[in-house]
Amino acid sequence: MRWGARREIQRKYLTGGDVHPEIAARIRAAGARPVLDAGCGDGELSLALGGWPVISLDRDPLALLEAPRPAVRAEIVRLPFREGVFGAVAALYVLYFFERPVEVLADIRRVLRPGGLFASATTSRDDMPELIPLLEPELIESYDAENGPAQVEEVFGNVEVDRWDLPALLFESPDGVREYLGARNQRLARDPAELAYPLTVRKLGAMIYARRWTSRCCQRAPQAGGVPRLGRRGIL
């Protein structure tokens, strides 16, 4: 299935928006420019930022066909930019694709200016709790709402976490659940027909922020409030 087709299937069951407008507002409030959207997909963050200067970067050429310009095809772990050129770097729903996210985070820190803002978004291990009983067990993600903050703090020396728990998906029938999970490459262990419909499903995750200070031994940023317990992929 093509990348764009998977995204459209996922989006049609959403009842609300994603994190991109909130992260865009945070970037604007910080006056952070230019922005590197690392793992940009089809450019939702750029759209949320409006005319803000953004460079789109993704390794998937199909995703870049729809991404706003300027766009660069490259790996996030080897960013093709010199040190200290970006006011902000966003890596939304992408760091769990890497075995060692700290290596990616280190290169992101390298291209940030002193005081520059890092923003990421990822899901929780308890994501979509209404559907967890249907799913085959999965390995813990390398970067999720539970282990991501510690990895960010290891690299940046500070971290701020803003967690979410909200009703985000609506399914009218078992076929919708099958289609949605199939687009996410998640395997069913039980029949979705066992559940009652219409079915509202919650999404759980976190936005994780940090700053590149001149030293990594600065004071830790205060953590935002939210749900004390927060996996699977993307709020989509």
Dump pLDDT digits (tens) for 179-209: 999 988 888 999 999 999 999 999 999 999 9
227 — pLDDT class (breaks 50, 70, 90):
very low
**pLDDT value for 65:** 86
| Closest C-alpha to 56, from 80, 77, 75, 35 | 35
Judged by average pLDDT, the poorest of 31-35, 58-62, 99-103, 157-161 is 58-62
Burial class (CB in 10 A: 0-12, 13-18, 19+), 170: middle
User: Token pair for residue 178?
Assistant: 């099958």
Percent of the chain with pLDDT strictly greater than 70: 89
Q: How many CB atoms lie within 10 A of CB 140?
A: 10
170 — pLDDT class (breaks 50, 70, 90):
very high
Percent of the chain with pLDDT strictly greater than 90: 73
In what helix (H) or strand (E) does residue 44 lie, and over which residues does it extend?
Answer: helix 44-49
Cα–Cα distance for residue pair 188/135, rounded to 1 Å = 5
218 — pLDDT class (breaks 50, 70, 90):
very low
Judged by average pLDDT, the poorest of 17-31, 42-56, 61-75, 219-233 is 219-233
| CATH superfamily entry for domain 3-212 | Vaccinia Virus protein VP39 (3.40.50.150)
**Strands 54-58, 71-73: parallel, antiparallel or unpaired by DSSP?**
parallel
Q: What is the mean pLDDT of the chain?
A: 88
| Closest C-alpha to 162, from 120, 201, 202 | 120
**pLDDT value for 221:** 39
**pLDDT value for 133:** 93
Q: What's the mean pLDDT in 198-226?
A: 72
Buried b vs exposed e over 21-36: b needs ≥16 C-beta within 10 Å? Answer: ebbbebbbebebeebb
Range ranked top by mean pLDDT from 59-63, 101-105, 228-232: 101-105
Lookup result for tokens 């813990």: 140
pLDDT above 80 for 225: no
Residue count of the chain: 236
